[in-house]
Amino acid sequence: MIVFVGDWVKAQGKWGQVVAVDVGSDTFAMLGHDGLETWWGASVPEEYEDHVSNLQMQNKLRDAGL
């Protein structure tokens, strides 16, 4: 999966925003609900349910009135 900082990824039923990317190890970090970074990698692709760019997510939130 190709992600960029600011993108949104749904993993394990929860949306999180990508806050860091490590291209060398093919991993990225999302902020968890506890405010800590959770690192993900290509080794668990079955965990990912959806992925949208930050702009797409902002449009979805606006359309939902949030």
Global confidence as pTM: 0.74
Cα–Cα distance measured from residue 7 to residue 19, given in angstroms and rounded to the nearest whole number? 8
**pLDDT tens digit sequence for 8-46:** 988 888 888 899 999 888 889 998 778 889 888 866 656
R_g over Cα of the chain: 12
- Encoding tokens for residue 36? 């800590």
Closest CA to 37 of 24, 21, 57: 21
Q: How many residues does the chain have?
A: 66
Contact 4, 18 (CB under 8 A): yes
